Amino acid sequence: MQIDVRNLRVAFPAPHGVVEAVRGVSLTIGQEKLGIVGESGSGKSLTARSLLKLLPKQARLSADRLTFDDIDILNADERTMRRIRGKRAGLIMQDPKYSLNAVMTTGAQIAEAWRAHRGGSRKLAHEAAVDLLAQVQIRDPKRVADSYPHELSGGMGQRVMIAMMLAPGPEILIADEPTSALDATVQAEIMRLIEDLVSRRGMGLVLISHDLPLVSHFCDRVLVMYSGRVVEELRASELARAQHPYTQGLLGGLPSLTRPVAQLKVMERDPAWLA
């Protein structure tokens, strides 16, 4: 599995001309863990969603090259895209409260994902769902399969979401802020779970977040985005040697447990970063 992106642009029509939200992003993703970090509006989510062509209707997508293995995503029709979405690339979204169907049991939702891509009988799909729930380390998978999303905690909901994404056996997982709605300890658990599943199944991972330390903890490589561009690419272990002032600003403004300061450093934004 290899995703190749060259000069990706996403633009939106605005009252005064066109606004470009993603401005020439290039990246290659193989079987690795890639992090994309940036603030709101930096274009990180749009970049990731472009890979699945899951963009708002009015968005205009263009690129010199946008391929998933040898499939040209840019010119692919919906039929082709449906064979990639879910089946070959799973998308984990931020808040399980909104991304799960509130009126279906979790088991039925996972079984639906299973049958849509793999076929098979209802009974088989249900058994697969319970098995998947066990794989995402839910202690009582039979009970959870029969419960509704509102009966589960945020962390459990996110595990269900992950189980559903695993059902078709994708080659890559795209996780868009998978833990921002969760609290700190649960956050670590979910990240560990994703990490573990990704390496055990040999999947690729694209992890999108605004939390630079968290991302670099779990990824091999990190792209830092600012205002629709990749301003810096780093190996996770080289984070301390970040060159771009924006990346340095992101790291410098964090309150520290071990090194207390009276005043936090506030980022001075240089208009030159936009150029």
Closer of 87 and 97 to other proteins (Cβ): 97
For residue 126, the Cα-to-chain-centroid distance in whole angstroms is 26
Q: How far is CA 91 from CA 11, 210, 263, in A?
A: 22, 17, 39
Interface residue with other proteins, options 8, 25, 29, 33 (CB under 8 A): 33
Closer of 33 and 159 to other proteins (Cβ): 33
Closer of 108 and 154 to other proteins (Cβ): 154
| Interaction of residue 185 with other proteins, rule CB under 8 A | yes
d(CA 248, CA 170): 35
- 196 and 159 in contact (C-beta within 8 Å)? no
**Gyration radius (Cα) of the chain, Å:** 19
| Interaction of residue 93 with other proteins, rule CB under 8 A | no
Report the nearest approach of other proteins to the CB of residue 159 (Å).
15
d(CA 1, CA 201): 13
Q: Determine the angle formed by the axes of helices 122-135 and 154-166, rounding to 10 degrees.
A: 130
| Interaction of residue 58 with other proteins, rule CB under 8 A | no
| Interaction of residue 14 with other proteins, rule CB under 8 A | no
The total number of residues shown for the chain amounts to 275
For residue 216, the Cα-to-chain-centroid distance in whole angstroms is 14
User: Where in the chain does DSSP place strands (E)?
Assistant: 3-14, 17-29, 33-37, 60-62, 65-68, 71-72, 89-92, 172-176, 204-209, 221-226, 229-235
d(CA 226, CA 248): 13
Report the nearest approach of other proteins to the CB of residue 136 (Å).
17
Report the nearest approach of other proteins to the CB of residue 248 (Å).
11
d(CA 12, CA 21): 7
Report the nearest approach of other proteins to the CB of residue 153 (Å).
7
Closer of 110 and 158 to other proteins (Cβ): 158
| Interaction of residue 272 with other proteins, rule CB under 8 A | no
| Residue 30 tokens, joined | 């193989």
| Interaction of residue 236 with other proteins, rule CB under 8 A | yes
Interface residue with other proteins, options 31, 186, 231, 244 (CB under 8 A): 186
d(CA 239, CA 222): 9
Report the nearest approach of other proteins to the CB of residue 255 (Å).
4
Closer of 141 and 249 to other proteins (Cβ): 249
Closer of 148 and 273 to other proteins (Cβ): 273
Interface of this chain with other proteins, residues 192 to 221, rule: CB under 8 A: 192, 195, 210-214, 216-219
* Chain contacts with other proteins (rule: CB under 8 A): 33, 39-40, 153-154, 182-186, 188-189, 192, 195, 210-214, 216-219, 236-241, 249-251, 253-260, 262-267
